Structure 1
Amino acid sequence: MEETFGSRLRKLREERGMTLQELSLKSGIHQSTISRLETDPQRRPHMETFIQLAKGFGVSIQELAILTDLIDPDSEENIVIKDEQLKTNYHLLNKENLALLKALEGIDSLTRYHLTQFITGLKKNLTEKIKTCD
């Protein structure tokens, strides 16, 4: 049977000697959410949840991606995603975007929301300018 993100997450938590409650307290993610991530083979974390899990384990986002086998640590770029289903959710995990995510780790949700809106607006304006140049 192929390992899922959830089974790898549970294995990591148990290897670290953490209970669901401990990981919940350290990450700020409700126990039931972590439990569902661990037991539902189809469930994948949202990026914010992934960031919180990394915080709970006391590792960087990239380290958590390696520890849960989402990226290949031996890859030349170190950003090769191995789980096909996760490619949809994590297709933006390249060096530049991982650096951005690392910078966002300590930022509160409201500021992160405003930054997202700002970047979305910039992308929209750039796209419109490119269309008018064609």
Structure 2
Amino acid sequence: MNESFGSRVRRLRQARRWSQQELSLRSGISTPHISSIERGKRFPSLDYAIRLANALGVSLPALCDQRKELRPPKMKNSPDELPSYLQNFVLNEESTPYLEMAHRLSTLPKQDTEFLSLVVDLLVERRRTDPDR
């Protein structure tokens, strides 16, 4: 399958049952601009391509590589579907760096993710045994 960038964006958006307006709100890109990208009339800047990938929950390389099959990850449609403690976390401005890092980690190969999880576990254990560090 040889899809254009815009076709891939449209397919992911529709798989989530989002309107172009919903994607616009999540990405900060105007609805007419998203429409033009999906129809192949405009090509996004790097910044816009990154915003679209982040909003759709996929890595930019996965969204751009026409040779790879693009499988949309499962995502909640709305923060309202999350437990209230997670809604508060997601909606808090201070959570943005953590959410961005979690997204980056989710796009790594499984072996790298497992390695980083092990490192984090070791650091947490070290902190527990020596809180002054």
Q: Say whether the fold is shared (TM-score over 0.5).
A: no
TM-score, scaled to structure 1 = 0.44
